[in-house]
A = this chain, B = another copy of it.
Amino acid sequence: MVIASARDLGLAVRQARQDRGRTQSEVAAAARVSRRWLSDLEAGKPSAEFGLILRTLDAVGLGLDAFPVEPAPEGLDLDTLFEDGRG
């Protein structure tokens, strides 16, 4: 799943957690974060610390990958990549 926002991250974490049938308390303990914080994270908290996020992802069985995104070489409009528009 592509993570483009804090909300995306929250949803991914919640999804993974529920897929594994784990409660917030269990995951929070495994990741060594507070349940209070985990609840906020799943709600899409953008100010969460990256270190805690990494531990949490690990606790719910998710890995993170960074991939290059085409920067639209100058003069090229993104829309032209999909000539029929992007609805």
How many copies of the polypeptide does the oligomer hold? 2
Nearest-Cβ distance from residue A48 to partner chain B, whole angstroms = 5
Q: Are A69 and B65 in contact (CB under 8 A)?
A: no
| List of B residues within 8 angstroms of A20 by Cβ | 71
Interface positions, chain A 29-79, Cβ under 8 Å from B, are: 45-51, 53-54, 57, 61-71
Say what secondary structure dominates the interface of chain A. Answer: mixed
Residues of B contacting A64 in the complex (Cβ-Cβ under 8 angstroms): 2-4, 64-67
Contact B62 A51 (CB under 8 A): no
User: Can you pick out 24 interface pairs between chain A and chain B where the beta carbons lie within 8 Å of each other?
Assistant: A1-B65, A3-B54, A3-B64, A3-B65, A3-B66, A4-B63, A5-B54, A6-B50, A6-B51, A6-B54, A12-B66, A46-B50, A47-B49, A47-B51, A48-B49, A61-B68, A61-B70, A62-B68, A63-B66, A63-B68, A64-B64, A64-B66, A64-B67, A65-B66
